[in-house]
Structure formats: structure tokens, C-alpha cells
């Protein structure tokens, strides 16, 4: 089972950006936490991050027939990007959407998620653990 974990815009700034919202741990910490947990679950993961919407679309397109699942936190593109939604629809790979913060209890402009229209599940407000829950969910689903 191969899972692609995509982090979008500004998630490379974890640990620096708004630590009261996103925590003090860095993007590197996140990747090593994901890799450790994936190993335990016997899942192979690749983690990628980009600030560019087009690059994220490229990652999704290239995942076609290469990955069994996608975990995606598009960052602010969650609330704006029809292009990312269309790319996910195009490849048809099972997707879980993750947000570190509890987006539902935040500003009005964060209340729309285009990715949610394709994602099978959305996990929010659980910090880094949300990514692990997403991986476990996809792993369980594929092994059914």
C-alpha cells in the first residue's frame, strides 16, 4: 500500500507560523512522525510539500496508478482551488483531507473546502495526529 502525503502552501512554515494555532513542531518533525507511524502500519509513504498550486496539481496527476491513497492538506488552497479538486477527481485516488487546526471554528473564509467535495473523509483539529489517522483510515480501507 502506497500513500502520497501532500502538504500545500505555508505548511513548510510549521513551527514558525502561528504556533498557537499550528503548534511548535516543524514540517521536518511532521514528516518524521508520519514516516515512523507509516512504518509501524506497514504502509509506504511519500511526503511532498509545495507552495505552488500548479505543483500540487502535478503531484496529484503523477500519482495516477502510482499510489493507492492520498492524504492532502492543501493549506489555504483548500478554500480556493477548483484546480486541486479537479486533479483529485481526474486521478480518482481515494483521498483523505487533513487540517491541523479546527477549521470549522475559524473564520468564515475558511468554511468552504473544494477538496471536501472529493475527499472521502476530512479530519481537522487533531494536530499532526490527523495525518496518522488519515493514513490508518486509507490502509484499513484498502485492506478490506
Within 10 Å of residue 108's Cβ, how many Cβ atoms? Answer: 6
Answer yes or no: 99 catalytic.
Answer: yes
Of 135, 134, 137, 144, the closest CA to residue 2 belongs to 135
Q: Interface with ligand DQA includes 103 (CB under 6 A)?
A: yes
Contacts of 112 (CB under 8 A, 6+ apart): 79
Q: For residues 80 and 141, which CB has a smaller minimum distance to ligand DQA in the complex?
A: 80
Q: How many residues does the chain have?
A: 144
What does R_g of the chain's alpha carbons equal in angstroms?
A: 14
For 70, phi then psi, to 5°, come to -125, 135
In three-state secondary structure terms, 99 is strand
d(CA 144, CA 139): 9
Which of these ranges, 25-33, 36-44, 68-76, 81-89, lies near ligand DQA under the rule CB under 6 A? 68-76
| Shortest distance (Å) from residue 102 CB to ligand DQA | 8
Which of these ranges, 29-37, 52-60, 84-92, 100-108, lies near ligand DQA under the rule CB under 6 A? 100-108
Q: Which of 35, 46, 110, 121 binds ligand DQA (CB under 6 A)?
A: 110
Q: Interface with ligand DQA includes 73 (CB under 6 A)?
A: yes
Q: For residues 103 and 119, which CB has a smaller minimum distance to ligand DQA in the complex?
A: 103
Q: For residues 1 and 27, which CB has a smaller minimum distance to ligand DQA in the complex?
A: 27
Instruction: Give the residue numbers marked as catalytic.
Output: 22, 99
Site residues for ligand DQA per CB under 6 A: 10, 73, 75-76, 78, 99-101, 103, 110
Amino acid at each position: 500500500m502506497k500513500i502520497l502525503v501532500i502538504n500545500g502552501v505555508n505548511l513548510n512554515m510549521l513551527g514558525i507560523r502561528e504556533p498557537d494555532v499550528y503548534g511548535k513542531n516543524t514540517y521536518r518533525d511532521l514528516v518524521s512522525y508520519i514516516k515512523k507511524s507509516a512504518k509501524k502500519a506497514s504502509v509506504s509513504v511519500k511526503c511532498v510539500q509545495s507552495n505552488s498550486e500548479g505543483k500540487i496539481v502535478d503531484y496529484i496527476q503523477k500519482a495516477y496508478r502510482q499510489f493507492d491513497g492520498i492524504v492532502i492538506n492543501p493549506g489555504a488552497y483548500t478554500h480556493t482551488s477548483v484546480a486541486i479538486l479537479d486533479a483529485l477527481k481526474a486521478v480518482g485516488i481515494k483521498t483523505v483531507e487533513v487540517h491541523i487546526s479546527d477549521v470549522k471554528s475559524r473564520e468564515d473564509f475558511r468554511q468552504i473546502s473544494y477538496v471536501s467535495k472529493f475527499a472521502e473523509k476530512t479530519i481537522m483539529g487533531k494536530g499532526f495526529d490527523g495525518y496518522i489517522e488519515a493514513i490508518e483510515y486509507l490502509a484499513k480501507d484498502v485492506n478490506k
